[in-house]
């Protein structure tokens, strides 16, 4: 437990502990503006002892960025003013916060506002390999989208955010470029690994150039996709290193390694999970995530849309891995929805007082 509640420092970011709130889409921001309920939601997690809050995905100002109703944007006067209130509330409780910059890519369906009838934008117009369902991005589209990400990061720093996270996981836009299955381009953004990471690297480098040198940039990435849980960007550690190295060199400071179950090994012959391998190969801090404190992953039951329920589970395996320096930070998701004071309770050895997560909790913001 001492390791989980030891301080962490990187650049301008200083945390009192290693507990991170994982980003989770909540759909409670009408007109894409985070309101008082969103302010209170994040304030309570900071008050409860969470070291770093990573917000729900918030869209940059690109015309096709959003794919779901009532998600917040980090572009526009009212939207930025709403996020400023969130930042100030978190800071007043002594917490730190980073926005997750999120473009849904091919998951967008026409009719979602803002954006109207625009289809999903992706590298090759595909959501699943071989099936065109949306718009294949032109070079002009790519430039426009990259600038939206960069501007969102610049605006976020002006609002007082303590770090920036870029969503490059789960099949969304950046991951659509990473994954060969959905990136069938024949220009310098497709083909080789070097080309497939170029879109993200240019965003990262552009942000690094425009924000303070000591403001940490976090990249969330995953092997699995919502379209295909078995998909993998890398089959071996060597392939993973080839994928991660240019992203690291572009300016990523922390890798947020998204898995559904943190305890599962990433490659045969080693117990290291994805965060463990990333830290071993690249040497930069990593965040582990995936069913922390719960006994079931979040994937909904067949026919359901809400995150799966989960009972409180032991932290022994997690603490052992953290103590072995396999990763640096631990992202907690559903358990923090059920327990805004999860960090305080765990620190006080009040594990038995933690509430289980029930899927219906996702229907309210509290």
pLDDT at 301 over 80: no
What mean pLDDT comes out for the span 308-333?
96
pLDDT at 264: 96
pLDDT at 128 over 80: yes
Cα angle for residues 177, 124, 232 (degrees, 5° grid): 40
pLDDT at 51: 98
Residue 195, token pair as written in the block: 């080309």
Pick from 264, 271, 185, 175: nearest CA to 223 = 175
d(CA 80, CA 268): 45
**Global pTM value:** 0.97
What mean pLDDT comes out for the span 115-139?
96
pLDDT at 306: 73
d(CA 82, CA 254): 26
What mean pLDDT comes out for the span 262-291?
97
The DSSP call for residue 141 is H
Share the mean pLDDT of the chain. 96
pLDDT at 320: 97
Contact assessment for residue 11 and residue 216, using Cβ atoms and an 8 Å cutoff: yes
pLDDT at 331 over 90: yes
- Exposure string over 51-68, b if 16+ CB within 10 A, otherwise e: bbbbbbbbbbbbebbbbe
pLDDT at 196: 98
Residue with tokens 């690109």: 62
pLDDT at 71: 97
What mean pLDDT comes out for the span 107-134?
95
Confidence of residue 298 (pLDDT cuts 50, 70, 90): confident
What mean pLDDT comes out for the span 173-193?
98
How much of the chain exceeds pLDDT 70, in percent?
A: 99
Q: Does the bond joining 102 to the residue before it have cis omega, within 30 degrees of 0?
A: no
DSSP for 305-359, written as a single string: -SPPPB-B---HHHHHHHHTTS-SEEEE-HHHHH-TTHHHHHHTT-GGGPPPB-G
| 4-13, 96-105, 249-258, 288-297: range with lowest mean pLDDT | 288-297
pLDDT at 336: 97
pLDDT at 17 over 80: yes
Contact assessment for residue 48 and residue 94, using Cβ atoms and an 8 Å cutoff: no
pLDDT at 152 over 80: yes
Class of domain 8-363: alpha beta
In the annotation, is 189 catalytic?
Answer: no
pLDDT at 76 over 90: yes
pLDDT at 345: 98
Cα Rg of the chain (Å, integer): 19
- Exposure string over 313-348, b if 16+ CB within 10 A, otherwise e: bebeebbebbeeebbbbbbbbbbbbbbbbbbebbee
Q: Exposed, middle or buried, 164 (CB in 10 Å: 0-12/13-18/19+)?
A: buried
Domain boundaries defined on the chain: 8-363
- List 41, 121, 172, 189, catalytic entry: 172
pLDDT at 284 over 80: yes
**What is the four-CA torsion angle of 109, 113, 118, 120, rounded to 10 degrees?**
-40
Q: Which residues contact 287 (CB under 8 A, 6 or more apart)?
A: 20, 218, 254, 255, 256, 257, 275, 327, 328, 329, 330, 331
């Amino acid at each position: 437990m001492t390791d989980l509640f030891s301080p962490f420092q990187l650049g301008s970011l200083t945390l009192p502990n290693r507990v991170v709130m994982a980003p989770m889409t909540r759909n409670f921001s009408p007109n894409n503006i985070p309101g008082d309920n969103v302010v209170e939601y994040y304030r309570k997690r900071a008050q409860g002892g969470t070291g770093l809050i990573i917000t729900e995905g918030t869209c940059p100002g690109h015309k096709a960025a959003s794919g779901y109703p009532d998600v917040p944007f980090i572009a526009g006067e009212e939207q930025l003013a709403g996020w400023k209130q969130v930042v100030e509330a978190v800071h007043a409780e002594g917490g730190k916060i980073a926005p997750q910059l999120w473009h849904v890519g091919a998951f967008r369906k026409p009719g979602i506002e803002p954006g109207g009838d625009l289809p999903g934008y992706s590298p090759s117009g595909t959501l699943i390999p071989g099936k065109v369902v949306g718009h294949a991005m032109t070079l002009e589209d790519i430039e426009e989208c990259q600038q939206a990400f960069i501007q969102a990061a610049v605006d976020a720093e002006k609002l007082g955010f303590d770090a920036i996270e870029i969503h490059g996981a789960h099949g969304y836009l950046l991951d659509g470029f990473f994954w060969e299955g959905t990136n069938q381009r024949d220009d310098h953004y497709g083909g080789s690994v070097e080309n497939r990471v170029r879109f993200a690297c240019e965003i990262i480098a552009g942000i690094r150039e425009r924000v303070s040198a000591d403001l940490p940039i976090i990249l969330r990435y995953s092997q699995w996709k919502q379209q295909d849980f078995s998909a993998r960007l890398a089959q071996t550690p060597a392939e993973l290193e080839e994928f991660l190295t240019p992203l690291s060199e572009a300016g990523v400071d922390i890798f947020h390694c998204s898995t559904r179950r943190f305890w599962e090994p990433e490659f045969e012959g080693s117990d290291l999970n994805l965060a463990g391998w990333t830290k071993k190969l690249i040497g930069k801090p990593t965040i582990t995530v995936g069913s922390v404190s719960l006994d079931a992953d979040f994937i909904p039951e067949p026919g359901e849309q809400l995150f799966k329920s989960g009972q409180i589970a032991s932290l022994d395996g997690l603490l052992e891995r953290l103590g072995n320096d396999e990763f640096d930070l631990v992202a907690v998701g559903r358990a923090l929805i059920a327990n805004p004071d999860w960090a305080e309770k765990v620190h006080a050895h009040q594990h038995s007082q933690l509430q289980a997560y029930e899927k219906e909790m996702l229907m309210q913001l509290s």
